Amino acid sequence: MTQITGFTHALNGFKSMHSVLDYPLTLVALAPATYNARLASAIFQRGLRQRRQTVTDTLRTQARLIDGTRVT
């Protein structure tokens, strides 16, 4: 929930940017959102790697069953 809130604040900061003086404040607002986006991306990538590994393991198991070798 904090990630979504931080991102929303960052977007609102961008939308309400009217003068050059607002720019540094927008950067401060965007910092947490950028970190949260990286964190979300890392979690997503880890999930993809785990799913890929599961698919690979499943295919190996099926190949062993077809060959008639024992699956351990």
Mean pLDDT score across all residues of the chain: 69
**Range from 28-37, 45-54, 55-64 carrying the lowest mean pLDDT:** 28-37
Vertex 21 angle, CA 19 and 24, to 5°? 120
Residue 3 has pLDDT above 60, yes or no: no
The answer to whether the CB of 66 falls within 8 A of the CB of 49 is no
pLDDT at 1: 46
pLDDT at 59: 85
The answer to whether the CB of 29 falls within 8 A of the CB of 13 is yes
At residue 51, what are phi and psi to the nearest 5 degrees?
A: -65, -40
| Domain spans, the chain | 2-67
- 22 vs 64, more confident: 64
DSSP-H helix ranges across 16-72: 23-67
pLDDT at 14: 54
